[in-house]
Amino acid sequence: MNERQPYIRVENLKKNFGHIEALKGASLEAYPGEILAIVGDNGAGKSTLIKALSGAITPDGGVISIDGQSFAHLTPKLAEEKGITTVYQDLALVNTQTVWENIFLGHEYRRWGWLNKKKMRRETAELLERLQVSIPDQESVVADLSGGQRQALAVARAIRQGGKMIILDEPTAAMGLKETAAVQKLIRHLADQGYGVIIISHNIPQVFELSDRICVIRQGKVLAVLDTKSVTADDIVCMIVGGSASNGAKQ
Ligand SMILES: Nc1ncnc2c1ncn2[C@@H]1O[C@H](COP(=O)(O)OP(=O)(O)OP(=O)(O)O)[C@@H](O)[C@H]1O
Ligand SMILES: [Mg+2]
């Protein structure tokens, strides 16, 4: 077994929106069991990159390989089949439905045509326990959950649907300290269980606390991919803003 086989390999990815070059030949690798943080200024191309990975946009050039298979035209269905799941910020949960109903949304178990609620409740309990997600009552409706619990629920659903590489876009934006800590714990736990995690974050302390490697994107290019332990927050901020961290940052 070669543990250092990348699950995702992106080579020379390009994407234009009209005259805007959102990605100018980005290359990147992501591994199972690893937390990869993607950082970069507003408009750097982070979301465009992850949208290409989930098949939501078609790149103008380059190749995406997943688990050794290359795709020039990755569709959302193919990406999902290959275990790439993106949890976007709106989370796509149904507020009026319960925890277990959301876990099985669109993939319900049926028995003789009837919903097999017992099985879905049991599997939800097992899944939440395995992921160490703390939601005391799975009969709660999503509207009554905290932000952190919602994020955890969206991640649990992604795992249930076969996710192997979980991509999170700003998962703790607008969360308090306690909630953020719970979501970070879940992300770490996922990586420890062998899932790959890609997290987009503007929160540099969080990036340093969580990630194994940091990918800095600037103006559509991957400027560097670094071992988190080998760099300082100042180094990263310098790379993001493209100058000295102390006097290069704009207001
Ligand atoms: N659908 C689109 N149509 C036109 N331009 C777009 C589109 N999507 C992205 N862009 C442009 O492409 C560039 C990269 O955008 P992207 O959303 O990838 O940035 P980002 O790094 O995610 O930024 P942020 O941190 O603000 O979310 C920006 O200049 C943006 O305006
Ligand atoms: Mg974005």
Q: Residue 88 pLDDT > 80, yes or no? A: no
pTM: 0.88
Kindly give the pairing relationship between strand 213-218 and strand 114-115. Answer: unpaired
Residue 22 CA to ligand 1 center (angstroms) comes to 6
* Domain presence at residue 1: no
Q: Which of 14, 39, 47 to mutate to test the pocket of ligand 1 (most atoms within 8 A of CB)?
A: 47
Q: How many domains does the chain have?
A: 1
Q: Is the CB of 58 under 6 A from ligand 1?
A: no
* Domain presence at residue 248: no
* Domain presence at residue 120: yes
* Domain presence at residue 198: yes
* Domain presence at residue 247: no
Name, of 8-22, 131-145, 150-164, 231-245, the range with top average pLDDT.
Answer: 8-22
Q: How do residues 40-76 score in pLDDT, each as one tens digit?
A: 999 999 999 999 999 999 999 999 999 999 987 899 8
Residue 76 CA to ligand 1 center (angstroms) comes to 19
Q: Which of 16, 19, 48, 239 to mutate to test the pocket of ligand 1 (most atoms within 8 A of CB)?
A: 48
* Domain presence at residue 250: no
Q: Residue 89 pLDDT > 70, yes or no? A: no
DSSP 97-132: SBHHHHHTTT---EETTEE-HHHHHHHHHHHHHHTT
Q: How many CB atoms lie within 10 A of CB 205?
A: 9
Q: How do residues 106-139 score in pLDDT, each as one tens digit?
A: 889 998 889 899 999 999 999 888 888 888 898 9
What is the Cα–Cα distance from 149 to 98, expressed in whole angstroms? 12
Q: Is the CB of 2 under 6 A from ligand 1?
A: no
CATH of the domain at 227: 3.40.50.300
What is the Cα–Cα distance from 195 to 161, expressed in whole angstroms? 13
Residue 189 CA to ligand 1 center (angstroms) comes to 31
Give kind and range of the element (H or E) at residue 76. Answer: helix 76-81
Beta bridge partners of 10: 28, 64
How far out from the chain centre does Cα 137 lie?
Answer: 26
Residues in the chain: 251
What is the 8-class DSSP label of residue 137?
-
The torsion defined by the Cα of 56, 60, 63 and 64, in degrees rounded to 10, comes to -10
* Domain presence at residue 3: no
Q: Domain range for residue 157?
A: 8-241
Residue 245 confidence (pLDDT): 45
What is the 8-class DSSP label of residue 43?
T
What is the Cα–Cα distance from 150 to 192, expressed in whole angstroms? 21
Q: How do residues 204-218 score in pLDDT, each as one tens digit?
A: 999 999 999 999 999
* Domain presence at residue 171: yes
Residue 106 CA to ligand 2 center (angstroms) comes to 27
Question: 104-120: string of b/e by CB count within 10 Å (b at 16+)?
Answer: beeeeeeeeeeeeeeeb
